[in-house]
Amino acid sequence: MPKLTVVFTGSPTERYNPDSGGIQLAELMFCESKVWPGWNKKVIVRGHEKIKSSSDNVNLIEIYSEDLRLGGLADSVPFSLKASAIIDELCEKGEDCIHFTSLIPATIYFDHPIHDYLKNNKRVIKSKFFYTIHNYHYGVSDKPEDVFVNYPEEWKYLHEAENRVINHVDKVFVPCRRYVDVLSKKFDREISYVPNTVGDLNKYRISTRTSHEYKILLTLSRLEQVKNLEGLLRAFKVAQTHDKKIRLIIGGEGSLLSSLKSICAQSNLRCSQNPCLMNKKSLYSRLDKFDVIFVGKVEGNDKRFLFEFCDCVALFSFREICSLFGLEAIAYGKRILASKIPGWQDYKDCGCDIMLCNPYKIKEMADTILEGTVNIKEKSYTISKKNKEIYQKYYSPEIVSTIRYSLYENSLRSNL
């Protein structure tokens, strides 16, 4: 039985929730899938007493570090050092595949001086190593962007670290088809396309019709510059001058919250100042009073409720490799209004109901909002049916597992 270990970091109480989003969601949905039997699967994850495995198909290796409250890069280092020791032991015991889906554990494993020592002493490691490029900011970006403009040294470290990791591993994956050729040329090696999945489509059953008169746009993301939420608000203001029934719900946390609320005030957009309870009564009461509703951090059943409550989703981000928010929207059957960039164009190429525009042009974004919300309630069933069919065809666990395990097995056969 082939043996696979997947390594990633993340906030344990939040990211392990299958409804919470993020890279961890995609990786756990893949690992917990039972559609590709015959593999012994392990997940090395940051441990916490609240974590409970939702599947008997995965062996969790939990690393308990209650001191991980340092913030930023430092937060991942103690975990990664302990993970490296476990990986070394697994390799000694003949683990077939080690797949890093987070940069810091991979960097610390490959850069640790012990590996040079072992290599010089001709220790033979038969394990195959894999890495997924999930984040635009690291090796993909040619210059510091957004979250790194004030921390260029941190970006430089991450940029160079990902380049080294990509040179160390046997195979590299990226979850965006449009980036395959670009990154293969950039790194001068083969990059394989492996889509993400957010699990079984049956988990995303919701009503396709909303019972209110308003046209609700939903966005869930980190409140950071790269997500272009300032542009979204300005475009929303322009659109609302033509259609007073449009409303915008913004979920998430981040450094731009106060700035976004200031933009609302400057634009004369009525803005809720405090997160509200996630129920119809609470939100209904705010639709008449506010144009923009900030709901704060969203996870679990609250996320499901908001997807059911909204009519379509909108996120005009400047860069994406693979938007998990977008993938969830497809699974929930919602129309997407987004940027004309590779991470969103992949979904368009597959046939999803998604409308794309230039994220640097406010009028074009506003026109997309207006066009995308015309008769949206009447079209909801048709849109939902189409997007769910696309998800099942291109992003279901069955499809993703077939692609990913085939690449693992082909790599292992090259050893024979």
* Highest mean pLDDT: which range of 117-131, 140-154, 328-342: 328-342
Split at pLDDT 50, 70, 90, the class of 13 is very low
Q: Which domains does the chain have, with CATH numbers?
A: 3-198+396-413 (3.40.50.2000), 201-394 (3.40.50.2000)
Q: Please, which pLDDT band fits residue 292 given cuts at 50, 70 and 90?
A: very high
Give yes or no for a contact between 162 and 138, defined as CB atoms under 8 angstroms apart. yes
Question: Which carries the bigger pLDDT value, residue 367 or residue 11?
Answer: 367
C-alpha–C-alpha distance, residues 159 and 156, integer Å: 5
Residue 249: strand pairing partners? 218, 293
Per residue in 324-345, pLDDT tens? 999 999 999 999 999 999 999 9
Q: Provide the pLDDT for residue 76.
A: 72
pLDDT value at 179 more than 90? yes
pLDDT at position 131, please? 96
Statement: residue 277 has pLDDT above 80: no
State how far the Cα of 340 lies from the Cα of 325, in Å rounded to an integer: 16
| DSSP assignment string, 279-333 | SHHHHHHHHTT-SEEEEES--THHHHHHHHH-SEEEE--S--S--HHHHHHHHHT
pLDDT of residue 60: 65
- The pLDDT mean for the chain works out to 85
Q: What is the mean pLDDT of residues 136-143?
A: 87
pLDDT of residue 66 exceeding 60, the answer is: no
Q: What is the pLDDT of residue 61?
A: 74
Residue 144 above 70 pLDDT? Answer: yes
d(CA 351, CA 336): 12
Strand order in the sheet with 354-357: 292-296, 246-251, 215-220, 312-315, 335-339, 354-357
pLDDT of 285 strictly over 90: no
